[in-house]
Structure 1
């Protein structure tokens, strides 16, 4: 049995033991399925759907699964089946990510029943972009001139931009969305005239490259403002 098979069977056994007949579906998604999963360095995104979700059962999963979940870097998202189906209009970016790259470990495929509109996607993208702009300004303020701290915070901030960029590509009807961030930046540039230099510099910094983080922020902010203006004016007919 391979390492991934052992992890998957371990997850199924743990969840069956904790939730029993309340367990409806178990789905892994994201990098684990996309082909760029790295054992002990990549997180495993896990969707667990239940018929009923009680605080007691959550506490039990945390208690009984803490060693296994921590060892394998598992990040569980636990919802009832009804909640998952009803939330697609609120979280279209996240749902599109799940639909694009997922694997059902147990039960039915919950994504087959999901419906959402590009209007909802446009709305969430604007919300996320404006939030990213505000958080970037807050990072500079919180760093108080400490460039090393700002560099570290920028590396973490990059992760949220990857999810936003995937949503931007899908908003334009592109189904073949890049999985590597560098290729994703180029896709967004082609669709939105991003001028990708600052984001490529951000990627280089995340991967260990140098650079002045304050200058980088000053270059990133107008590019975010550009994307916000484009999405704010974007008209969706479906």
Structure 2
């Protein structure tokens, strides 16, 4: 289903109708917030902050949330104000991304004193990388020798891997650049894996084609590189002088 079936404006309008004054903020974050998204392949990540939420409101948003996800977007992240202020320790990757690049669609977002701890970020980054590796392995098994399925696996995994790569750079005290290719090259150099499979997938997502033989080679290299990344993160200790992620850019 085309993304145009439900726009960000539609989402905000329906959230306002259901939550009223309880709706404190609607925030777009991730690649779409900074203009880096690839049309048709990047997600619109949305954070919603409310003063409170109950089951009646949740049910009232059922059709809205189904339409949003059917348009190809990930589920909306809904937090109360108190949850937002105290959850940076359990969602450090998401908070780091939001603090670094976000666009306010409605209301105001409390940012004062929000800090992403590097140890929390390291743990979630390793967990997400390991989880992605396990899903890749399952995907390879399901795809078998079907080149179309292999290609779909590469395309569908790309956006999530970039999120992990940006978190890896933040662990090194580095603010990730907007250019995905430079992010890939930087992480590969630091962690000791081959960047080529990821640059090939980056080109694939942007419209380039891979032959059947190339797909198998790229996918094999993709999985090998993720093996190296997971092993690297398992041994990694954030440098003591690495800055904490607590300097959001103005909305």
Name the TM tier (shorter chain). Answer: 0.7 to 0.9
Superposed, 1:112-191 pairs within 5 Å as 112-175=112-175, 177-191=176-190
1:152 to partner: Cα distance: 1.1
Structure 1 position 227, deviation (Å): 1.5
Alpha carbons 2:192, 2:228 under 8 Å: kept: no
**2:194 aligned with 1:195:** yes
1:223 aligns with 2:222: no
How large is the Cα RMSD of the aligned pairs? Answer: 2.8
* Paired residues of 1:40 and 1:73 also in contact (CA < 8 A): no
CA distance in 2, matches of 1:76, 1:21: 19
Where in structure 1 are there 5+ consecutive unaligned residues?
A: 1-6
- How much has 1:166 moved relative to structure 2? 0.6
Give the secondary-structure state (helix, strand or coil) at the position aligned to 2:76: strand
Q: Which has the higher contact order (CA 8 A, sep 6+)?
A: 2
Aligned mates of 2:23, 2:136 — CA distance in 1: 40
In terms of fraction of residues, the more helix-rich structure is: 1
TM-score (norm 2): 0.79
* CA drift at 1:63: 3.6
Unaligned runs of 5+ in 2: 1-6, 243-251
Aligned partners of 1:221 and 1:73: how far apart in 2? 25
Give the structure-1-normalised TM-score: 0.83
Partner of 1:4: none
Cα deviation code 1:45-77 (max 9, x no counterpart): 221111212222122233468778977968532
Secondary structure of the equivalent of 2:193?
A: coil
Following superposition, the deviation at residue 157 of structure 1 comes to 1.2
Match of 2:247 in 1: none
User: 2: distance between equivalents of 1:64 and 1:143?
Assistant: 33
Q: Paired residues, what number?
A: 231
Shifted more, 60-69 versus 81-90: the winner is: 60-69
Kindly indicate whether the alpha-carbon contact (under 8 Å) linking 1:92 and 1:121 is maintained by their aligned counterparts in 2.
yes
Shift of 1:8: 6.6
CA gap 1:86/1:124 in 2 versus in 1, 3 angstroms: same
Distance 1:234 1:43, change over 3 A: closer
